[in-house]
């Protein structure tokens, strides 16, 4: 694997696999290396400093595996760590490497999602508190009204494979009701956490039928394709033999078992130690 230059895909746990799945489908020829920080997930309710520290450690690990381009397939990491990595750390320590997130590819399309101009954002506590979605969307589309709702119980439900069980209904209904109490004319809901597409069957049960539900995977994949076309100097640093590898900071066996739910096919994983960076 030493000769390969895979595209790195990072998430706090399994959620990024919902993004990787779409990327791989659109750009199958590239090599990919996924890293899930399962030992320290969830990130959603951690401080800015902690999320930054964990994310930067994982990005550097992916750099050490020869990834020239890393996608933070995690909203919490994109909201709390991406800007610092891009502006402060890469220029000094890794000027040739690139790190991209999932917020920009989503927010730049926000106007297309809603007819009423009222857009709901469902996300982790960390993403909501960062205000990143509100700021970015206002920058592109000042006329869009953005309503946010933190859903702190959703990631634990998904990570514990309880997202389709009867226990999930209570928390899905609760957060959706809280969001619609903010504005009844919301006609589009953005699932701004890479874990949430797994909850779609439950979410659709509690959302009025005319409301559009938007998952990020396809948006991020299309945006990456466009990025690679516009940046041939980065594209040529990404090898293309169609290989996929999976790393986790926790048990490889658990990862392989659970990852299928998110990725849609069986994977084999390898456990890594981050202190080896
Ligand atoms: N999947 C991540 C996101 O998109 C966060 C999950 C977590 O809380 O770690 O925000």
Assess whether the C-beta atom of 55 lies below 6 angstroms from ligand 1: no
pLDDT, residue 270, reads 98
Task: For residue 64, count CB atoms less than 10 angstroms from its CB and return exposed for 0-12, middle for 13-18, buried for 19 or more.
Answer: exposed
Query: What spacing in Å lies between the alpha carbon of 166 and ligand 1's midpoint?
Result: 22
Four-point Cα dihedral 244, 249, 254, 255, nearest 10:
-20
Closest ligand 1 atom, CA of 15? 1
Is 67 among the residues known to form the active site?
A: no
Assess whether the C-beta atom of 114 lies below 6 angstroms from ligand 1: no
Q: Which residues of the chain have pLDDT under 50?
A: none
The SS3 of residue 46 is coil
Task: For residue 152, count CB atoms less than 10 angstroms from its CB and return exposed for 0-12, middle for 13-18, buried for 19 or more.
Answer: middle
pLDDT, residue 3, reads 82
pLDDT, residue 276, reads 56
- Tokens encoding 63: 């750099």
pLDDT, residue 277, reads 57
| Topology at the third CATH level for domain 7-101+218-271 | Rossmann fold (3.40.50)
Per the residue annotation, which of 65, 67, 193, 238 is the catalytic one? 193
pLDDT, residue 175, reads 98
Contact status, residue 161 vs residue 258, Cβ threshold 8 Å: yes
Q: Where in the chain is the domain with CATH 3.40.50.1860?
A: 7-101+218-271, 104-215
- Tokens encoding 211: 């409301």
pLDDT, residue 159, reads 82
Assess whether the C-beta atom of 43 lies below 6 angstroms from ligand 1: yes
From 214, 17, 201, 221, select the one nearest 120 (Cα to Cα).
Answer: 214
Contact status, residue 255 vs residue 37, Cβ threshold 8 Å: no
pLDDT, residue 197, reads 95
pLDDT, residue 143, reads 96
pLDDT, residue 275, reads 77
Is 74 among the residues known to form the active site?
A: yes
Yes or no: domain 104-215 corresponds to CATH 2.102.10.10: no
Contact status, residue 67 vs residue 90, Cβ threshold 8 Å: no
From 16, 96, 79, 84, select the one nearest 44 (Cα to Cα).
Answer: 79
């Amino acid at each position: 694997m030493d000769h390969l230059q895979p595209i790195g895909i990072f998430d706090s746990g399994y959620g990024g696999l919902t993004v990787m799945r779409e990327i791989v489908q659109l750009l199958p020829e590239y090599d990919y290396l996924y890293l899930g920080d399962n030992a320290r997930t969830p990130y959603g309710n951690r401080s800015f400093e902690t999320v930054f520290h964990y994310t930067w450690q994982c990005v550097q690990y992916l750099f050490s595996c020869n990834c020239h381009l890393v996608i933070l397939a995690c909203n919490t990491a994109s909201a709390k760590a991406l800007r610092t990595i891009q502006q402060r750390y890469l220029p000094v320590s890794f000027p040739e490497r690139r790190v991209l997130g999932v917020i920009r590819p989503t927010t730049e399309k926000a106007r297309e999602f809603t007819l009423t101009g009222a857009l709901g954002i469902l996300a982790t506590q960390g993403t909501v508190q960062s205000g990143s979605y509100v700021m970015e969307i206002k920058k592109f589309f000042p006329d869009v009204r953005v309503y946010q709702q933190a859903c702190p119980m959703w990631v634990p439900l998904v990570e514990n494979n309880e997202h389709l069980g009867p226990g999930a209904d209570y928390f899905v209904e609760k957060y959706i009701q809280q969001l619609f109490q903010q504005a009844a004319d919301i006609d589009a809901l953005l699932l701004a956490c890479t874990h949430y597409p797994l909850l779609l069957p439950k979410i659709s049960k509690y959302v009025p039928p005319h409301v559009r539900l938007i998952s990020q995977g396809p948006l991020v994949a299309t945006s990456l394709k466009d990025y690679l076309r516009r940046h041939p100097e980065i594209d040529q640093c990404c090898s293309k033999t169609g290989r996929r590898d999976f790393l986790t900071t926790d048990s490889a066996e658990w990862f392989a078992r659970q990852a299928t739910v998110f990725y849609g096919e069986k994977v084999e994983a390898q456990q890594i130690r981050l202190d080896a960076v």
